Structure 1
Amino acid sequence: MRRDMEVSELEQIDKVVKGWLRESRDNVLRKIDTRLTVNTKTSRRDLVTNIDKENEKFLVAKIREFEPEAKILGEEGFGDKIESTKGRVWIVDPIDGTMNFVKQRNHFAIMIALYQDGQGELGYVLDVIGNRLLSGGPQLGVFDNGVALAPVEDTPLANGLIGLSGPMVLNNDFNMVDIAEKSLGMRIYGSAGIDIISVLRGELVGYISYLKPWDFGAGKILAETVGLKMTTIDGQPLGMLSSTAVLLATRNAHRDILTIVNKD
């Protein structure tokens, strides 16, 4: 049975995690202009650097010290093999948008999420260069650099910009071209974290991409807390350990997009 975490406990954890993120950001910025060791994973567009690995090791070590019994899911494999959502699970993305990090030294994020028995408790999405942290959860609320996030307007697709995956648009997966055309314009940022921040702040009405748990774990908590919808591309519930095409949007835009996805 899930044990709801007390607000006081969440506030203490929140303070600790923000300290980790400050230190993590400082570590990355100190090394950002050094010579990177870059390797490919699944393809030449799927990169990992020495800093991705070092940052994940740093964050995993912090979590292990803080909460030795917790399970950790990390993108670069320095956590645990997670097969169940039972108990306390941390999800870590040490550098989200590694291609941007390598080629632009900008437009990348660090993300941390805390789940209890499959339910989101705390999420953190940090725009490293912009020094903007979206943080919080259902019991604490959501904050933008420590200030309560302004309510997100329920804008329909036709009245807003949409963040999309470049490959999905090129392949016209799920009628992506029509989705782009029905919006005021598409934006391709190359980082789930940066897109999620933009949706939370009302700069985009939605975001669609193929994502893994470390890409959406933190954003899912924040989005659902403020009344946005994050589901699979066909509108089904998104599990914490899912790897699939993900749709994040305002409720109106979500409805509009599903109509396009399901046409024909």
Structure 2
Amino acid sequence: MGQNHEQIYQRAQDWVREAGAMVKNFLENNEILHETKSHQADLVTVADRSVEKFLVELIQKHYPDHKLLGEEGMGENTKEFSGYVWLIDPIDGTANFVSQQADFVISVGLYLDQQGVFGIVYDVMRDEMIHALKGKGVFFNDKRIEKMDEQLALIDSMLSYEHSLRTEAQVKAGQKLLELYPRVRGIRSYGVTALSLARVAIGRVNGFITMGTNPWDHAAGAFLVQEAGGKVTDFDGNDLPLDRRSSVIACNPGIYDEILQFIRERKIHV
């Protein structure tokens, strides 16, 4: 393809920061009216749609041959993943955005033939950008992050966990997953896939587990974890798909086998 990945990566960081400023402006003007989508807690705001439209228009202007997949459907929402594909969640954590005005992120990932090129996760209110270009290391704003220590023990690990409890099957699966609690130092729930994955990449938590999340939620963050030396698969040990929802294990490689075995032994799936 011959495209300058470094240039695209730097541009994308600038665009995401501009999008973050847009979000702050919505908050300052108290423009956080929301609608529901699939259920009462599945929210969308004018900020979600405006940010995705802003990013999609820039991508289409500068890279018209690239494909797009975004949560709010402002691009063509490709179902074909050869070549360059951008995966965008304009506000991951919309419920947090509406209720708390904190703990939400902008997530942007670029893939080439289903392999990550770069990932950017921007915590708008903390002004914390976790980002990486393939083979160049993970950065927290301008600071490079050390790769993960592979000698980590599960009992010394802090995990992040995200799980819906809307059906009986989900409740039963969630109860099985919580049996992991005595084996770790602690479990936290942020309610934001991309934020949780970014925190794994920079070592604030050591692993993230969810039974179901969309590709625009995990694309950038999963790439960050891998670039930090982490292991990322679904509950069957397979690479994450870009064309459908998926379970996710993303963690320090020292604890991956134990977590995967735990899930397999309990046959945890929804």
TM value normalised by structure 1: 0.92
Q: Which residue of 2 aligns with 1:158?
A: 155
Where structure 2 has 5 or more consecutive residues not aligned to the other structure, the ranges are none
SS at match of 1:262: helix
**Equivalences for 1:104-123 in 2 at 5 Å?**
104-123=100-119
1:19 aligns with 2:35: no
SS at match of 2:209: strand
Q: Which residue of 1 aligns with 2:181?
A: 180
Q: Deviations over 1:208-247 (max 9, x none)?
A: 1221110111112222122211110221221222311111
Q: Deviations over 1:66-90 (max 9, x none)?
A: 1012111010011113222111111
**Equivalences for 1:90-239 in 2 at 5 Å?**
90-154=86-150, 155-167=152-164, 170-173=171-174, 175-209=176-210, 210-239=212-241
Percent identity reads 31
Q: In structure 1, what residue type is equivalent to 2:255?
A: A
Query: Structure 1 18/81 Cα, relative in aligned 2: closer, same or farther at 3 Å?
Result: closer
Maintained 8 Å contact 1:174/1:261: no
Q: Partners of 2:184 and 2:201 in 1: how far apart?
A: 18
Equivalent residue for 2:263, pick from 241, 261, 264: 261
Maintained 8 Å contact 2:70/2:77: no
Q: Partners of 2:203 and 2:154 in 1: how far apart?
A: 12
Query: Structure 1 39/57 Cα, relative in aligned 2: closer, same or farther at 3 Å?
Result: same
Runs of 4+ in 1 over 6 A off after TM superposition: none
SS at match of 1:214: helix
Where structure 1 has 5 or more consecutive residues not aligned to the other structure, the ranges are none
Maintained 8 Å contact 1:153/1:202: no
**Equivalences for 1:50-69 in 2 at 5 Å?**
50-69=46-65
Q: Partners of 1:220 and 1:188 in 2: how far apart?
A: 17
Q: Partners of 2:119 and 2:175 in 1: how far apart?
A: 28
Maintained 8 Å contact 2:138/2:201: no
Q: Partners of 2:195 and 2:66 in 1: how far apart?
A: 27
Q: Partners of 2:153 and 2:257 in 1: how far apart?
A: 8
Equivalent residue for 2:37, pick from 27, 36, 41: 41
TM value normalised by structure 2: 0.90
Query: Structure 1 221/102 Cα, relative in aligned 2: closer, same or farther at 3 Å?
Result: same
Q: Which residue of 2 aligns with 1:72?
A: 68
Aligned length: 259
Query: Structure 1 240/194 Cα, relative in aligned 2: closer, same or farther at 3 Å?
Result: same
Per the TM alignment, residue 58 of structure 1 is displaced from its structure 2 partner at its CA by 0.6
Q: Partners of 1:44 and 1:157 in 2: how far apart?
A: 36
Q: Deviations over 1:7-26 (max 9, x none)?
A: xx122112211110111111
Per the TM alignment, residue 170 of structure 1 is displaced from its structure 2 partner at its CA by 4.7
Q: Deviations over 1:143-201 (max 9, x none)?
A: 11022112222323211111011436854348311122311111010111221121112
Per the TM alignment, residue 248 of structure 1 is displaced from its structure 2 partner at its CA by 0.6
Q: In structure 2, what residue type is equivalent to 1:182?
A: R
Query: Structure 1 71/190 Cα, relative in aligned 2: closer, same or farther at 3 Å?
Result: same
